[in-house]
Structure 1
Amino acid sequence: MPSQRSSAFLESVWVALGSLRASKLRSFLTLLGIILATTTLIAVMSLIHGMDVYIAEKVSDMGADGFRVVRMAFIGDWDAKKFLEYQRRNPELKREEFDFIRQNATLVKEIGMAVYRRGPLVFGGDRVDQVQIIGESPNMATIENTQVESGRYFSDIDNNRHLMVAFLGHDLKDRWFPNTEAVGKSIHIDGRPYEVIGVAKAKGSVFGQTQDSFVSIPVETYFKSYGARKGINYSVVAISHDKLLQSQDEVRSLIRSYRHLTPGKEDNFAIFNSDSLTNAWSQMTGAIAATAIAVVSVFMVVGGVVIMNIMLAVVSERTQEIGIRKSLGARRQDILNQFLVESAVLAASGGVFGVAIAWTFAIVIRTLTPVPMSMPIMSVALGVGLSMTVGLFFGIYPARQASKLDPIEALRVER
C-alpha cells in the first residue's frame, strides 16, 4: 500500500511538471503572482537579516558588556523639536564627571573617554582634509578591541605627558606609506607635528563609508591642543554581561548625583548599548516587514486565484482521463489527491523560481552596493512552503470538482 501511494504521488508530480513544460508561457503567467510574492518575501527577509548581522558585527563596537554615555542620542524616531530641546538642556560631558564615575563606580570594569573632531592632515606636502581626529584615553584600545597592525597604541605615559604621538588608520597608511614603515614618521595634524607610533588593522566600511580614515591621539594631548569644552563621551564596560543593566543604572545615578538632578527631573544626558541599537533597528524593520507582508499577501491571493482558475481549466481538459481512471477503479480520494498534488507542485515551482530571482537579486545588490543582504535558509523554506500551502488551499475546489465527476458522464465528453 505505501508503495502504491508513493508511486501515485510521484506520478502526480511528473504530470504537474510535464504540464509546466508543455505550456511555458501559460505556466509563467499562472505563477507570476506566486513568483512576485516569494521574491518580495525573501528579498525583504534577506535585507533585514543582512542588516541585523551587519549592525551586530560592524555598526556597534561596544560589545555585549559595553555601553556609551553621550550628551544626547537619537535612536529610533528623529524629532527636530527634541533635538533643539536637548541642545539647550543637555550640557557637555566633562572630564571632572569622568573622574567622578571612575572613582566611585563599583560595577564598571573599564571606563574610557573619547572626543572627536575633523581636520586636515599633511605628510610631505600631501594634504588630506576632513580626517576624523580622535582623542582617546589609552584604555580605549581595549574597550573597542582596536587591532594593531604595526607599532603600538599610546600608553598612559604618552597620555599623562601630553606627548605628540599619533595612531594611524589603515587608509592613511596606504596613502602615505604603501611600501614603507609608517612608525617613526612625522605627520602634521591641524598644523602640529606628531610622531606616528602605530597603525591600526583595516576595519573595512560601514554602508560604504570607510572606518579606516582616522588618526587617534592621547586624549590629554587633544585637550592641550583643542580644549576640553565639548564633544566628550564615555565608553564603559560592565564587570559582566549579567551586570550590564545594573552598571548602566549605577553610572546614571552617579552622573545625576554629580549634576544635582532631583528625582523628578529627566536625565540631561543619554546612555545606550548595543541592544539599544538593535531594538531601534527592529522597530524600523517592523514597519518594513508589515508592508512586505501586506504586499506578499496580495500577490499570494492573486496567484492562488489564478492557479485555481487554471486547475479548473485542467480539470475540463482532462475530463475523459478522469472518467477512464474512475472506470478502472480509481477512488474519489485518488483523484482528489492527484489534483491537489499537481496544484501544490505548480505553486511550489513558482516559489522555487521566486527564490532563484531573490537569490540573484541579493548577490547583485551585495556586489554593486554597500547594502548587506544575506539570505537565511529559513526564508527559502518559508517562501517555498508558503507557495505550496497556497497551491494546496486554492487547489481544493478544482480537485473536489474533479473527484465528484461521474465516470460515465466524463467518458461521454468529447475532446
Structure 2
Amino acid sequence: MDFKEGLKLALQSLWANKLRSVLTLLGVVIGVASVIAVVTLVNGANTYIETKFSSYGADVFTVSRLPQFITSAEEYERLQRRKNILLDDYRYVEQNCKHCVGLGAQQATVAKVVHGTLSVTDSTIRGYTWQMASLQNLNIVSGRDFTATDEEHASHVCIIGSDIQDNLFPGTDPIGQELRVDGAPYTIVGVSEKQGSTFGASQDNWVGVPLTAYQKSYGTSKSVTIYVKAGSAGAPLEEAADEVRVLMRSRRHDAPGAENSFELDTNNTLVGFASGITKSFGAVAGGIAAVSLVVGGIVIMNIMLVSVTERTREIGIRKALGARPKDILMQFLLESALMALVGGAVGVIGGVGVAQLVTIAVGFPSTVALWSVVMGLIVATATGIFFGVYPARKAALLDPIVALRAD
C-alpha cells in the first residue's frame, strides 16, 4: 500500500465517523489554539516594545529616578528613598557632557483639558524641553515644534495629540487657538502625528508644553527624566553613558563603591528586560497549553484503540488479502496523524482569531509569526503520530486468523 492509497483510506475512515472525529479533535484544537494565541500576543508585545523604545533611536538613553520596570514591592520601597532628579541636574549634565550630542528633559502628569464647552479628561500633560521632539522622533504634522525661546520665556504654547484635536476642535484647524490645562491657557502651535492605541489606552490623548511653563503650574520639586543622545550606537553610546553616569554620581554625591542613586537605561537594556518578561509569560502559558495537547493526544490514542477493536475483522480480511503489518501500521498512523493535523489547522485559525479579538477588545498588540503557525501544525501532527503508534502497532500485530473470527 502506497502513501496515497493509505491517505485515501484514512480520509474515508474519518469521514465515516464524523462526529467522533470532531469530538476527538477538540483537545488538539484547544491546545494548538492556546499556543498560537499566546505566541501571537507575546510577539505583538515584543514588537510594540521594540518599536516604542527604538523610536527614540539606538543612540538615545535615559536617566531617571526610578527604573522603567520594578519587579517587587521591596524594590519599590527601597527605590522610593532616592532623591528626585531636578531641572538643575539636567542643566549640569547639559553644560558638562562632552560626548552628548543632544539632551532633553521631560515631566508628565494627568489633567483635564478644556476648550469652550468641550473637554477631555485624563489627558497626559507633558512638560518638554525644546529638544525633546527630535530625541523622541515626534512628528509634527501641522504647525511647529517648540523653540529655545519658548522654553526660555516659559511661553504658554502647546503641541497636542490627535485625540485632543478630534474632541476639542472637530472639523476646524486648531493651530492658533486656545485651550486650558487645569485652568491655565495655552495657544496651540503644533499637532502631532496620530499614534493609535496600545493595551487599550490611546497614545494621542496628550498635550505637550514647554517644561519651564509646566513647572510654573505644577512646581519644580518633582523628578524629571533626562534623555541623552550620543554620537551613535556602540562605543560613542558607551562613552556618553559613562560620562553622564560620572557626572550624575558627582552631582548627587554618591559615595565611591555605592550603587547609583538614579537609573541609566539604554534601549537595549529596556527591550531586553521587557522581552525577558514576555518570554517568561509565554513559556508559562505555553506549558499550560501543552497540557491540552497531551490530553488531546491521549484522546486520540483512546479513540484509535477503539477503532482497532471495532475494525478487527476488517484488519483480518486485509491481512488475508496480502496486506503486510507495515501496511496496517501505516494506515492507522495516517489516520491519527491526519486527525491531529486537521485539529492543528483548526487550532491555528482559532488561535489567531482569539488573538485578534483580544487586540480589538482591549488594544493588546498581536503579531502573527509564520514560524508559530508552521510549528503549531508540526507539533499537532507529531502529537497524533506519537499517540497513534501504540494503537497502530497493536493493529499491525493482530493474528489474521484470530482477527477473522472476530464478530
290, 294, 304: which one aligns with 2:297: 304
Query: 143-152 vs 327-336, which deviates more?
Result: 327-336
| Distance change >3 Å, CA 121–CA 409, structure 1 → 2 | closer
| Distance change >3 Å, CA 125–CA 36, structure 1 → 2 | closer
In structure 1, the residue matched to 2:177 is 185
214, 225, 235: which one aligns with 1:233: 225
In structure 2, the residue matched to 1:360 is 353
1:250-280 deviation line (CA, Å, top 9, x unaligned): 3212211222222221111112233333333
Q: TM-score if structure 1 supplies the norm length?
A: 0.89
SS of equivalent to 1:241: coil
Aligned-residue RMSD, C-alpha? 2.4
CA distance in 2, matches of 1:297, 1:227: 53
In structure 1, the residue matched to 2:192 is 200
1:321 aligns with 2:314: yes
132, 141, 164: which one aligns with 1:149: 141
Cα contact 2:68–2:270 (8 A) shared by 1:
no
- In the TM superposition, what is the alpha-carbon distance from 1:117 to its structure 2 partner? 2.8
In structure 2, the residue matched to 1:171 is 163
In structure 2, the residue matched to 1:14 is 8
370, 373, 378: which one aligns with 1:377: 370
Query: 324-333 vs 335-344, which deviates more?
Result: 324-333
1:97-137 deviation line (CA, Å, top 9, x unaligned): 22232233343332111122333433335454543222211
Cα contact 2:33–2:347 (8 A) shared by 1:
yes
Q: How many residues align?
A: 406
Cα contact 1:59–1:206 (8 A) shared by 2:
no
> Which blocks of at least 5 consecutive residues in structure 1 are unaligned?
none
Query: 200-209 vs 322-331, which deviates more?
Result: 322-331
Cα contact 2:252–2:261 (8 A) shared by 1:
no
The one-letter amino acid paired with 1:367 is I
1:65-104 mapped onto 2 (5 Å cutoff): 65-79=59-73, 81-88=74-81, 90-104=82-96
In structure 2, the residue matched to 1:295 is 288
SS of equivalent to 2:80: helix
- In the TM superposition, what is the alpha-carbon distance from 1:188 to its structure 2 partner? 3.1
In structure 2, the residue matched to 1:105 is 97
1:407 aligns with 2:400: yes
> Which blocks of at least 5 consecutive residues in structure 2 are unaligned?
none
CA distance in 1, matches of 2:11, 2:368: 27
CA distance in 1, matches of 2:286, 2:168: 51
CA distance in 1, matches of 2:324, 2:107: 79
1:324-362 deviation line (CA, Å, top 9, x unaligned): 433443332222222222221122122122222212222
CA distance in 2, matches of 1:118, 1:303: 50
In structure 2, the residue matched to 1:258 is 251
| Distance change >3 Å, CA 101–CA 318, structure 1 → 2 | same
In structure 1, the residue matched to 2:204 is 212
Q: TM-score if structure 2 supplies the norm length?
A: 0.90
CA distance in 2, matches of 1:36, 1:144: 42
